[in-house]
Chain A
Amino acid sequence: MSDDLFRDYDHAGFYDEAFASDGQLRPHYRALADRMRTLTPTDLTEREALRDAIFREQGITFTVYDDEKALERTFPMDLIPRIIPADEWAELEAGLIQRVTALNRFLEDLYVGERAAIHDGIVPRWLLATAEGFVREAFGVPVPHEARCLVAGIDLIRDADGTPRVLEDNLRNPSGISYVLENRVAMTRVLPVAFNQHRVRPVDHYGSLLLDALRNVAPPAAGENPCVVVLTPGVFNSAYFEHAFLARQMGVELVEGRDLVVDEHVVYMRTTRGLARVDVIYRRIDDDFLDPVVFNPDSTLGVPGLVAAARAGNVTITNAMGNGVADDKAVYAFVPDLIRYYLGEEPIIANVDTYLLWDDDQRAMVLDRLGELVVKPVAGAGGYGMLMGPTASDEEIADFARQIEEDPRGFIAQEVVQLSRQPTLVGDELVGRHLDLRPFVITGETMEVIPGGLTRVALREGSLIVNSSQGGGSKDTWVLEDDGRDSGEEA
């Protein structure tokens, strides 16, 4: 253990959030480093113990049940926060708002509009019709104010030059906001002095922003005081904690499908005083399970007649059905064009360079360079089913080549992006670990981005996979009120 946590840190040539390429701390990390230097290894151990106690006490855990006992695991939060200066955030925020605005327009155009983007040749009809998240039943189902992506989670990374890029869009049921809020609570208790030395923009107004946005999409007939509920698959869902958390934050009922009933195209919840009308459903269950009448007939999670009630305009289901069409990784490749088409602007945040494999030239090039590229299934999530060219065996490469030839629509290829790294506490040492960022964008009366978002960090050395199911952790994300350029000098 060094007496200076930061002195022996090796950025190893990666783009590092805290260190410039010459090995100097970036200005907005100096105050944090100065504070951390005053903590002994014992202090750090104590603070980690305090952090663990906070998360356990509050039950912020993934729970795995079996017959005998409940196994509870926490989603580990690293003690070293990620810091984003105000000017950098302003740019990201503008880019996120631009992107989600265009995506809302696109989904509105596709499902209830004239499908202008198709007619004008921006994105091919066949591509949308073959996307897994495309939902025919969503045609004609209204959402007031074009707020089809009421909550969007846009995954951002930084490439080797430090340029932010969008890795993927999550427009269905992005999760993780509960960790953002709980990380902040824990951080202000574990490192109160360091936190106070920065002017960090708050995140705890998320619940009220979300509730306002949900009330904003109530059907016009709902009146002054619309009834909003959160719809969960139930206690056995791994994200149940978040569903309950959001219902509590907003002070609304957390319902399961069986608590709702549809009569004459109106949705009611079953209360101790009879049936009570529901106007807005923030659903955290997938499209396929919403309504056994139109989707999976075996699903017991949903509500028979729900889709017809939404089509009749008596209830708003949000996020809207069918948003998944834009989560398709091949459709993702068209988002920059959609921004240009709908908004007449250049995209502020670029995509990762993506190759479409039904195009003969691009496919030939990709097959030629498979050993250097990343190949992903278009409907994949969680980092599963990918080919990492540089580390793959010859058999794996040959296998993917065959799969691509068989189903060129089913995959995309991208240049390998080395995610940026950041100092992370492992044992009592600071080591570089790769990370990404999922900011949350809410479409309300105005569009709002919660400052920061969920920073996910790959805790395993060298890993680029940040998902919680595969050894990922998180960091509190501090968006500063200022550019943080001077904060180092005072200390």
Chain B
Amino acid sequence: MLARLAENLFWAGRYLERAEDTARMVDVTYHTLLESPQAAEAEAWAELLDVLHLRAAYEAGHDEVTAEAVTRFLVLDEDNPGSIMAAVTLARENTRSVRELVSTELWEAVNSFYLELRRRDLGEDVATQPYELFAVVKRRCQTVTGVAVETMPRDDGWRFMTLGRMLERAEMTSRLLDVRFGQLVSFAAPLAFHHWVAVLKSASAFEAYRKAYRASMEPANVVEFLLLSPDFPRSVRYCLEHAEQQLARLGDPERVGPARRRIGRAYAELQYREVDELLDDLHPFLDRIQQNVWRVADAVADEFFRHAPDGGQHSLTTT
């Protein structure tokens, strides 16, 4: 398929995932803090900015960290390419440019999502009914994904879109663990429980976790679940496995290309890990995962988008 269109589909997948993950994280942070001591607030929002790698961008435009300012920054600030509004806009631009490759249903789902956000007064929503707003964003994102699953043929276009989504999700989940883990293990027990629930909820994993581990809220279990679960669709391992499967079908069947080789290695590293080996050195490990994901994305661009008109320097991207 045309390299330009493949690249746009890849980024459409990434931006949709980014919008959804950002909504989850802001939502959970916001609502967890309602039940937490006041002092923890600024710290928690600063952590969230770290998770999203947006602290520097935020501080460039803001003097202090407040719940409202960070929420606005992450929801509706279009100068922030990581904001939900910006991500949805870019997802729509990318989808529109591949209009004839995606199903009509998928385009309509993305477009009506975008139009709904444009219609809403997001500033007002953030101030008065954030819960409803985040519910809308999450539901819309899930609708888009569901429509894609049900209406897209499993062709190369589908694979590039899924690859983008899985890489973005792997990165987001590992960032979530990375920033929260260091903080959380040091918290006192009752508070820690609360925060582990928040971490799991950020990844839509709370219910699934409880099914797997019952009521116990051990840090090791949470890390194991979000990092190593072979079955939970937001775990890093699951995402890498599925990204690898897409690459296996996209590349030259005669040889293993650089992108696939890289992701295969990252996956293998998770596949036979035991969580106990990881806990002591979690940060360097997560850091390596994130760097691996970036390298995979670079290798994908080099292998598949190099022939695109702007040579893999995608014009509808920002980070």
Contacts and interface: CB of A to CB of B under 8 A. Distances in A.
B2 A259 contact: yes
B97 A269 contact: no
Contacts of A68: 118
A247 B98 CA distance: 13
A57 B4 CA distance: 27
Contacts of B107: 59
A58 B104 contact: yes
* Most A-side CB within 10 Å, residue of B97, B100, B107, B111: B100
Interface in A233-269: 235, 244, 247-248, 253-256, 258-259, 269
A253 B5 CA distance: 11
A271 B100 contact: no
Interface in B220-268: 250, 252
Q: Do most interface residues of chain B lie in helix, strand or loop, or is the interface mixed?
A: helix
A235 B99 contact: yes
Contact of A235 (B96, B108, B160, B308): B96
Interface residues of A, number: 23
A344 interface: no
A365 B6 CA distance: 62
Given A259-B2, A271-B1, A244 B304 contact: no
Interface in B1-29: 1-4, 6
B4 A270 contact: yes
B278 to A, nearest CB: 35
A244 B118 contact: no
A272 interface: yes
A244 B2 contact: no
A388 B177 CA distance: 74
Contacts of B115: 69-70
Interface string A269-303: 11111110000000000000000000000000000
Contact of A269 (B2, B252, B305): B2
B298 to A, nearest CB: 16
* Most A-side CB within 10 Å, residue of B6, B305, B309: B309
Given A69-B118, A235-B96, A253-B2, A272 B250 contact: yes
B156 interface: yes
Contacts, number: 53
B288 interface: no
B100 A247 contact: yes
A244 B99 CA distance: 8
A272 B249 CA distance: 12
Nearest to A246: B100
A272 B305 contact: yes
A280 B22 CA distance: 46
B100 A272 contact: no
B111 A272 contact: no
Interface residues on B, range: 20 to 34
B307 interface: yes
B69 to A, nearest CB: 25
Nearest to A232: B100
Contact of B1 (A256, A272, A275): A272
Contacts of B108: 59
A259 B4 contact: yes
Nearest to B4: A259
Given A272-B156, A272-B250, A70 B4 contact: no
A275 B307 CA distance: 7
A69 B4 CA distance: 25
A269 B308 CA distance: 9
Contact of A270 (B99, B111, B250, B307): B307
A258 B3 contact: no
A253 to B, nearest CB: 6
A270 B252 contact: no
Contacts of A259: 2-4, 309
B212 to A, nearest CB: 38
A272 B3 contact: yes
Nearest to B309: A258
A274 B307 contact: yes
A59 B304 CA distance: 31
Given A247-B100, A248-B100, A253-B2, A271 B118 contact: no
A254 B8 CA distance: 15
B45 to A, nearest CB: 30
Interface string B299-313: 000001101110000
A271 B104 contact: no
Interface string B98-119: 0110001001100100010010
B62 to A, nearest CB: 26
Nearest to B93: A235
A57 B111 CA distance: 13
A255 B160 CA distance: 18
Interface in B150-178: 156, 160
A255 B100 contact: no
Contacts of A255: 2
A70 B111 contact: yes
A424 B307 CA distance: 52
B100 A254 contact: yes
Contacts of B99: 235, 244
Contacts of A253: 1-2
A68 B160 CA distance: 29
Given A271-B1, A273-B304, 19 more contacts: A57-B104, A58-B104, A59-B107, A69-B115, A70-B111, A70-B115, A244-B99, A247-B100, A254-B100, A255-B2, A258-B4, A259-B2, A270-B4, A270-B307, A270-B309, A271-B2, A272-B3, A274-B307, A275-B307
Q: Give me the 9 closest cross-chain CB pairs, A-B, nearest first.
A: A258-B309, A244-B100, A270-B307, A272-B304, A272-B6, A270-B3, A272-B3, A259-B2, A254-B100
Interface of A: 57-59, 68-70, 235, 244, 247-248, 253-256, 258-259, 269-275
